[in-house]
């Protein structure tokens, strides 16, 4: 099977020859690994595409994805971030402070904004170069994550207690932005949409608050994206045990990616053998700080815990740290190939 066939079969709950791997590459890793500045991820199409192709040649995964970082989405409301020469975009102040600000909000046409046009061109080229062999995805960086970026951490958390209407208003607006961004990505030809949302995880809010303020907008996002015929992945991202049962009830999700804080054997027991899970290798303890032998041992353990019936994709928990040693990524790819053969699990 090709990587794309293997990934899409697994995402559909069908039999594959082995467990697929997705690397969840961060912009800094993609660009720095090949001597390019991080700013070129956002604005230089040729260098960004070239860096992705180099990464895929060096660490052949079954799926790769491209992301738009949260500060960039200030552009949607006419608040462009600064773009450091060799760093991530920075939104220096909140876009919205009050209900009056939100009432005036207007979402710009994302496809007309130059930095987004560049990202969409990167995706289209990657689909052209790799799309027959590798599943290409895009990251919609989460409704609550975006709400937090637009109003600031303190404002959002205070409003959850004091101004629930403000929270619903900003979450609804952020959700609409994510849906529009997702549709633009899909028009580029991607195979899946990956949706991480740490700001609504138990590391930020309670399960009751999650149910009241976050779940309706997550479901709205996933159900909207599913109408366009691509696969969806939800990553709650942070201390997820208290909401594992709630997450299961959200409609429109094809696969669940829990962080390294959730034991893959536990999530498999809770979700059963038929649900598609992205099982995590610890990105910090193992991939960043461990040895290739440590990586190999953890991949073997994760496969044994989660992939006995298939329906599993191996990925870093959250994302791949920018300073991850290249030999550890190679060890991860090789270990998945060695231990993930379905006749061997």
The whole-number pLDDT of residue 344 equals 44
Domain count, the chain: 1
Structure tokens given for 60: 């052949």
Does residue 335 carry a pLDDT above 60?
yes
Mean pLDDT of 205-213: 97
Q: Taken in order 151, 156, 158, 164, is the CA torsion positive or negative?
A: positive
Helix, strand, or coil (residue 56): helix
Helix then strand then coil, in percent of the chain rounded to 5, is 55, 10, 35
The whole-number pLDDT of residue 295 equals 98
Q: Kindly report, residue by residue over 7-51, the tens digit of the pLDDT.
A: 999 999 999 999 999 999 999 999 998 899 999 999 899 999 999
Does residue 185 carry a pLDDT above 80?
yes
Does residue 128 carry a pLDDT above 60?
yes
> Whole-angstrom Cα distance, residue 145 to residue 91?
14
Q: Taken in order 341, 245, 286, 2, is the CA torsion positive or negative?
A: positive
Mean pLDDT of 273-298: 97
The whole-number pLDDT of residue 307 equals 87
Mean pLDDT of 66-90: 94
Contact (CB, 8 A) for 167 and 160: yes
The whole-number pLDDT of residue 318 equals 86
Mean pLDDT of 324-339: 96
Structure tokens given for 241: 């045990």
Mean pLDDT of 275-293: 97
Mean pLDDT of 172-193: 98
Contact (CB, 8 A) for 246 and 210: yes
Does residue 144 carry a pLDDT above 50?
yes
Mean pLDDT of 242-255: 97
> Whole-angstrom Cα distance, residue 116 to residue 72?
9
At residue 68 the predicted structure's pLDDT band, cuts being 50, 70 and 90, is very high
Share of the chain above pLDDT 90, in %: 93
CATH number of the domain enclosing 29 = 3.20.20.210
Q: Kindly report, residue by residue over 99-119, the tens digit of the pLDDT.
A: 999 999 999 999 999 999 999
With a threshold of 0.85, does the pTM exceed it? Answer: yes
Q: Kindly report, residue by residue over 290-329, the tens digit of the pLDDT.
A: 999 999 999 999 999 998 778 999 999 988 888 999 999 9
> Whole-angstrom Cα distance, residue 328 to residue 21?
14
Q: Taken in order 262, 268, 272, 276, is the CA torsion positive or negative?
A: positive
Structure tokens given for 337: 């190939």
Range of the domain at 300: 3-344
Question: Which helix H or strand E contains 7, and what residues bound it?
Answer: helix 3-11
> Strand pairing partners for 82?
90
The whole-number pLDDT of residue 343 equals 60
Higher pLDDT among residues 225 and 85, named by residue = 225
The whole-number pLDDT of residue 290 equals 98
């Amino acid at each position: 099977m090709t990587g794309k066939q293997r990934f899409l079969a697994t995402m559909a709950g069908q039999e594959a020859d082995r467990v697929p791997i997705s690397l969840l590459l961060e912009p800094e890793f993609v660009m720095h690994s090949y001597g390019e500045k991080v700013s070129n991820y956002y604005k230089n199409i040729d260098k960004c595409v070239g860096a992705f192709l180099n990464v895929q040649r060096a660490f052949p995964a079954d799926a790769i994805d491209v992301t738009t970082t949260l500060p960039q989405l200030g552009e949607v409301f006419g608040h462009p971030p600064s773009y450091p020469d060799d760093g991530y975009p920075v939104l220096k102040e909140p876009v919205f402070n009050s209900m009056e600000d939100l009432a005036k909000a207007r979402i710009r046409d994302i496809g007309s904004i130059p930095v987004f046009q560049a990202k969409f061109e990167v995706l289209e080229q990657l689909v052209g170069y790799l799309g027959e062999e590798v599943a290409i995805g895009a990251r919609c960086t989460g409704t609550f994550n975006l709400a937090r970026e637009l109003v600031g951490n303190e404002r959002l958390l205070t409003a959850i207690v004091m101004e629930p209407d403000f929270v619903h208003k900003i979450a609804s607006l952020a959700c609409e932005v994510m849906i529009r961004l997702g549709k633009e990505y899909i028009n580029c030809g991607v195979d899946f949409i990956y949706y991480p949302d740490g700001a609504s995880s138990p590391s930020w809010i309670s399960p009751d608050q999650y149910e009241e303020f976050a779940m309706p907008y997550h479901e709205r996002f996933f159900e909207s994206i599913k109408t366009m015929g691509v696969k969806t992945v939800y990553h709650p991202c942070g201390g997820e045990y208290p909401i594992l049962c709630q997450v299961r009830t959200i409609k429109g999700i094809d696969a669940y990616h829990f962080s390294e804080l959730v034991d893959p054997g536990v999530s498999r027991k809770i979700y059963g053998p038929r649900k598609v899970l992205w099982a995590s290798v610890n990105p910090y303890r193992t991939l960043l700080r461990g040895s290739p032998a440590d990586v190999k041992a953890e991949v073997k353990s994760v496969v044994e815990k989660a992939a006995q019936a298939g329906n599993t994709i191996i990925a870093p928990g959250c994302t791949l740290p920018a300073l991850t040693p290249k030999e550890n990524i190679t060890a991860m790819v090789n270990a998945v190939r060695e231990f993930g053969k379905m006749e061997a699990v």
